[in-house]
Amino acid sequence: MNIKALRLPLTKEELQSLNAGEIVSLSGACYTARDAAHKRICDALKNGGPLPFDLDGACIYYCGPAPARDGEIIGSCGPTTSARMDDYAPTLLECGVAVMIGKGRRSDAVTKATADAGAVYLAAVGGAGALIKNRVKACALHAYPDLGCEAVYKLDLQNLELLVASDTKGVCALR
């Protein structure tokens, strides 16, 4: 199996080269954000408030990391169900988000918005949070600390293998 190694942030050419069904090995900086953080980000966009990170070219991992044990970088950090972010995803894609990581299927509207934005949705294996944490080389609280595990964290990923679930051409591998 040929696994394509990618380093964030991805260029438009790299995004366009990805095809639904491929496996990629992703490294670089991404931000975690779940439901509550997505709501705050979209509210900030609507009201002209400050954003927790630059959305242009950003990678968002739908994850709420568990606290790290002594001597660890991060606790379990598996993906949450992506469909829970479907109401917010088109807005964030319009603002430049290039990569979304989560688990499960997306709505047809999000698959279309992903293609329209020239972005991709990458699927992680659900239930593998204890293994995925070994692919995180750095973790720092970045924004919204009052949200607890749903706060925004900046992660440095190293060789996290993911499935290209939806590509820039609107093809979805999870139908």
Q: What predicted TM-score, i.e. pTM, was given to this entire model?
A: 0.95
120 pLDDT band (50/70/90 cuts)?
A: very high
List the domains of the chain with CATH numbers. 4-166 (3.20.130.10)
On average, the pLDDT of the chain sits at 95
Whole-number pLDDT of residue 128: 82
Q: Look at the chain and count its residues.
A: 175
| pLDDT at 154 exceeding the cut of 80 | yes
State residue 167 phi and psi, 5-degree precision. -110, 180
Distance CA 169, CA 155 (A): 28
